[in-house]
C-alpha cells in the first residue's frame, strides 16, 4: 500500500507547561485501569481516534495524497464510500484531560478530520457527493493513487455499470479510468482482463495488480487507461477454463487469492487457502520482472517464500513505510511481521477487541488506520510512549518538599507526541499510590510541596493520546521537617567629613538560610534616627531569600573624639507554626580624621579657644552681656584702668622675652 502525503505534520510539538515550584499539590487515587482502548504500558497500541460507529458491512481503508481517510460500505442503505477530510492537527486537541484521565470522545479522528462525507453513487463527485446515477455494486477495496485521487474496487461482477471493475478517481473525485472488463464468465476471459472479484489490489509504478479470487490469478493492467496487459499465476499453475488449484501445499501455489499489495518493488499475495489440506492461508512474496512480464517467488521471505497460517484465511497484507508487514486474517487480530517475515506483535488495543478486521493503512507517521466490522468500525491507533528513564529524587529547599527530575521521552515513528508526565506518590513503600494533581506539563522536573516529614516513593510515566508508557520509580526520597532560622549582617558607611550631626548610614542584611519561609520580619537597631532605637519592618522572607533594612544616625561629639561609631541590630521573623526566630549583629566603624585646619569639636556659634569663665558677662566680639552691668564701663569716658592693665601686660611680656634671650646667650658661652 503506497502513501505519498505527509499529512498533519507533527514536527516537534511544543507543549508549554511550567514546572510546579513551591505550590500546594493535592493527590488523588491513581486512575487504574485506564479507559478502554488506552495503553497501560510501553509498546502497546492505544486508540487515538474512534468513529464511535458500528458498521457491520465496512470494508477497505486508504489515505490519499491530500490526507483524507477513505473506507467502503459494501451493502445496505449506506452502501458507498466515505471520506474523512483532514483539518488542522493539534496534539493537545484530543481526549486527554491531564492527570491520566481521558474523555470518551473521538480523539484525533474528531479533532484533526472533518465530519465524514458519503459518496452515494459511483459517479458522485467531491463537489456533489450525493449526485450521480451509477449505483454502487459492492465497493470493498480502496487504494490511494500516486499523485492524488483513489482507486475503488466494486467487486461484484454481476452488478453495476460497468460491471466488476476498479474505478480510478482524481482529486476532485471524477472518474478518470476503469480497469477490468464486465461480466462473470468463470476463468474464460482472463486474457481479456476480466475482473469480477478483486477486493484488495496494489500498484507498482504505472501498473495495477488485482486478484481474481476464484481463478487464482493476478491480472495486470496499465494505469491510467486500464488496458489489460497479462496475468500471473502460482508456481506450477496455469489459468484455464477452471479455477486453478494449488499445485502443491507448498509456498508457491496460490489458493483462493484475495489480496495483492506492494512495497513499490515486490508483490505480496494473500490467499484464503481453504482448499489446502489442512486449510491454510498464506502470504507469498514475489519478485516482479516487468520487462519480461513475469514474477518469481522470493524464497528469502518467511519459510521458503511464504508465511503460513494454519486454520486461518488471509484477506490482505499491508506494507508499512519502514517495510513492516501487517497480515489481516478473515477473523482474529491483525499480526505484525518484520520485512523478513518474523512475527513481532498483534495489533490489538486493550478492552476494545474486534472479531473481524477488514483493512489497514499506515500513515507517514507510522499510525495505523483500520476498519473492523462491528463497534468502533473506524479506528486510529498509535503505540504508547517509551518508558521514563533517569528518574531521581531529593529533599527540596523548603520543608515538606522534594524535587524530582527525569529524562525527556521523545516520540518516534508509530507514536504520538508526549502530552504529560504524570507523577504518583506513595507514603507506605509502594503499597498504595496517589496521583499528584498538577497542570498538564512536559517539563522534566517538578517540586512536590506540602508533604509531611518522612520518606516517600515516587513514580513517573509519560502519557500521550495513546495511553501510558512504562513507569519509572524512585524510593527513599526525604521530605524534611521545618527548621526555621534567620541570619543578619551589619554594614556601616561613615560621612565624608567628620563633624557634629554628620549622618552615618547603617544597613542590615537579613537572610533566611533555613528550609522554612518567614513572615513578620523586622530589624531592630539600637540606634537610629535621633540616636534612639529604631525598628524597620521587612517584607516576608522566603527560603534562601535576603532583604535589607537601613537607618541613619547623627554623629555625636563623643564619636568625633574617638573617631569611631558603633551600632547593633536584632532581626526577627515568624515561622508558619508561630515560632519566632532571631539573630543579632554588631559593628564598629572608623570615622575620618578631621581637617587639620579646623576644630572637629566646634559647636556652631562658639570660639573653641576662649573660655569666658562662669563669672564673665561678656562674649568675644559681642560686648557686654545684655542685662549684666559692665564694671569697667564708664558712661561718656575712656576705660582708663583697662588701658593701664593692657600696657602692663605688654611690658611684662617684653621683660620675659629679654630674660629668656640673656639666659640662652649665657648657656652658649659655657659650652
pLDDT at 184: 59
Distance CA 407, CA 114 (A): 36
Helix (H, G, I), strand (E, B) or coil at 436: strand
Last residue of a domain, which of 553, 573, 590?
590
Number of domains in the chain: 2
C-alpha cell at 554: 547623627
pLDDT at 244: 73
Last residue of a domain, which of 364, 383, 402?
383
Ranges of residues in the chain whose predicted pLDDT is under 50: 1-24, 601-671
My answer on whether 378 and 491 are in the same domain is: no
Write out the residue range of the structural domain in which residue 65 sits. Answer: 45-383
DSSP per residue, 292-319: TTEEEE-TTSTBTTEEEEET--EEEEEE
Torsion of CA 357, 359, 361, 367, to 10 degrees: -10
Q: Tell me the per-residue pLDDT of 74-84, one tens digit each, with 9 for 90 and over.
A: 999 899 999 99
pLDDT at 671: 31
Tell me, rounded to whole angstroms, the distance of Cα 550 from its chain centroid.
46
My answer on whether 379 and 506 are in the same domain is: no
Q: Would 330 be classed as within a structural domain?
A: yes
My answer on whether 107 and 255 are in the same domain is: yes
Residue 204 belongs to a domain with what CATH number?
A: 2.120.10.30
Q: Would 302 be classed as within a structural domain?
A: yes
Q: Would 599 be classed as within a structural domain?
A: no
Last residue of a domain, which of 545, 561, 590?
590
Identify whether the C-beta of residue 585 lies closer than 8 Å to the C-beta of residue 541. no
C-alpha cell at 59: 470494508
Identify whether the C-beta of residue 512 lies closer than 8 Å to the C-beta of residue 543. yes
pLDDT at 464: 98
My answer on whether 257 and 144 are in the same domain is: yes
My answer on whether 377 and 493 are in the same domain is: no
C-alpha cell at 361: 493503512
Q: Would 39 be classed as within a structural domain?
A: no
pLDDT at 29: 60
Distance CA 494, CA 98 (A): 60
Distance CA 133, CA 131 (A): 7
pLDDT at 621: 35
Total number of residues shown for the chain: 671
Q: Would 452 be classed as within a structural domain?
A: no
> What are the C-alpha distances in Å from 487 to residues 507, 534, 568?
14, 19, 14
Residue 529 belongs to a domain with what CATH number?
A: 2.60.40.10
Q: Would 496 be classed as within a structural domain?
A: yes
pTM: 0.78
Q: Would 606 be classed as within a structural domain?
A: no
Query: H or E element: which one contains 660?
Result: helix 640-670
Q: Would 455 be classed as within a structural domain?
A: no
Amino acid at each position: 500500500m503506497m502513501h505519498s502525503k505527509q499529512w498533519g505534520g507533527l514536527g516537534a510539538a511544543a507543549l508549554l507547561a511550567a514546572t510546579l515550584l513551591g505550590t500546594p499539590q493535592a493527590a488523588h487515587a491513581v486512575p487504574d485501569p485506564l479507559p478502554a482502548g488506552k495503553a497501560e504500558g510501553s509498546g502497546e497500541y492505544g486508540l487515538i481516534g474512534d468513529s464511535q460507529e458500528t458498521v457491520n458491512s465496512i470494508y477497505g481503508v486508504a489515505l490519499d495524497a491530500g490526507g483524507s481517510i477513505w473506507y467502503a460500505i459494501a451493502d445496505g442503505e449506506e452502501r458507498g464510500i466515505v471520506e474523512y477530510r483532514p483539518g488542522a492537527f493539534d496534539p493537545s486537541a484530543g481526549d486527554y484531560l491531564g492527570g491520566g484521565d481521558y474523555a470518551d470522545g473521538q480523539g484525533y479522528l474528531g479533532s484533526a478530520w472533518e465530519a465524514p462525507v458519503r459518496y452515494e453513487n459511483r459517479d458522485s463527485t467531491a463537489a456533489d457527493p450525493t449526485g450521480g446515477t451509477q449505483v454502487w455494486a459492492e465497493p470493498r477495496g480502496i487504494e490511494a493513487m500516486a499523485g492524488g485521487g483513489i482507486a475503488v474496487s466494486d467487486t461484484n461482477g454481476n452488478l453495476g455499470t460497468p460491471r466488476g471493475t476498479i474505478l480510478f478517481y482524481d482529486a476532485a473525485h471524477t472518474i478518470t479510468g476503469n480497469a477490468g472488463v464486465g461480466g462473470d464468465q468463470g476463468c474464460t476471459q482472463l486474457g481479456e482482463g476480466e475482473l469480477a472479484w478483486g477486493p484488495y489490489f496494489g500498484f507498482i509504478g504505472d501498473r495495477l495488480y488485482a486478484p481474481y479470487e476464484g481463478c487464482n490469478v493476478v491480472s495486470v493492467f496499465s494505469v491510467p487507461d486500464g488496458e489489460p496487459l497479462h496475468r500471473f499465476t502460482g508456481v506450477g499453475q496455469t489459468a484455464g477454463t477452471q479455477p486453478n488449484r494449488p499445485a502443491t501445499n507448498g509456498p508457491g501455489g496460490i489458493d483462493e487469492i484475495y489480496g495483492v499489495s506492494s512495497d513499490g518493488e515486490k508483490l505480496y499475495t494473500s490467499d484464503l487457502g481453504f482448499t489446502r489440506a489442512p486449510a491454510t492461508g498464506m502470504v507469498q512474496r514475489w519478485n516482479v520482472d516487468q520487462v519480461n512480464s513475469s514474477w518469481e517467488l522470493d524464497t528469502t521471505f518467511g519459510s521458503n517464500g511464504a508465511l503460513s497460517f494454519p486454520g486461518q484465511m488471509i484477506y490482505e497484507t499491508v506494507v508499512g513505510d519502514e517495510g513492516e508487514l501487517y497480515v489481516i486474517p478473515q477473523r482474529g487480530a491483525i499480526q505484525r511481521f518484520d520485512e523478513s517475515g518474523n512475527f513481532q506483535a498483534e495489533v490489538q488495543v486493550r478492552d476494545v477487541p474486534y472479531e473481524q478486521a477488514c483493512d489497514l493503512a499506515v500513515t507517514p507517521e507510522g499510525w495505523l488506520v483500520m476498519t473492523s466490522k462491528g463497534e468502533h468500525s473506524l479506528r486510529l491507533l498509535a503505540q504508547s510512549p517509551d518508558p521514563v528513564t533517569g528518574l531521581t529524587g531529593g529533599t527540596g529547599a523548603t520543608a515538606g518538599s522534594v524535587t524530582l527530575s527525569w529524562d525527556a521521552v521523545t516520540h518516534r515513528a508509530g507514536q504520538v507526541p508526549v502530552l504529560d508526565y504524570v507523577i504518583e506518590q506513595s507514603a507506605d513503600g509502594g503499597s498504595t499510590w496517589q496521583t499528584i494533581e498538577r497542570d498538564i506539563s512536559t517539563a522534566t522536573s517538578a517540586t512536590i510541596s506540602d508533604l509531611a516529614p518522612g520518606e516517600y516513593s515516587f513514580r513517573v510515566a509519560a502519557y500521550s493520546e495513546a495511553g501510558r508508557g512504562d513507569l519509572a520509580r524512585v524510593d527513599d526520597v526525604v521530605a524534611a521537617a521545618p527548621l526555621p532560622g534567620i541570619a543578619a549582617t551589619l554594614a556601616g558607611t561613615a560621612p565624608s567629613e567628620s563633624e557634629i550631626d554628620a549622618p552615618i548610614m547603617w544597613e542590615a542584611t537579613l537572610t533566611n538560610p533555613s528550609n522554612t519561609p518567614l513572615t513578620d520580619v523586622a530589624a531592630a537597631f539600637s540606634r537610629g534616627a535621633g540616636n534612639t532605637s529604631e525598628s524597620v519592618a521587612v517584607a516576608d522572607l522566603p527560603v534562601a531569600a535576603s532583604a535589607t533594612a537601613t537607618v541613619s544616625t547623627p554623629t555625636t561629639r563623643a564619636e568625633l573624639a574617638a573617631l569611631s561609631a558603633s551600632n547593633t541590630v536584632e532581626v526577627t521573623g515568624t515561622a508558619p507554626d508561630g515560632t519566632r526566630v532571631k539573630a543579632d549583629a554588631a559593628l564598629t566603624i572608623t570615622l575620618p580624621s578631621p581637617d587639620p585646619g579646623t576644630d572637629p569639636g566646634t559647636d556652631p556659634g562658639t570660639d573653641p579657644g576662649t573660655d569666658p569663665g562662669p563669672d564673665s558677662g561678656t562674649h568675644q566680639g559681642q560686648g557686654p552681656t545684655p542685662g549684666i552691668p559692665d564694671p569697667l564701663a564708664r558712661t561718656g569716658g575712656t576705660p582708663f584702668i583697662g588701658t593701664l592693665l593692657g600696657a602692663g601686660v605688654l611690658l611684662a611680656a617684653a621683660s620675659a622675652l629679654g630674660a629668656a634671650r640673656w639666659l640662652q646667650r649665657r648657656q652658649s658661652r659655657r659650652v
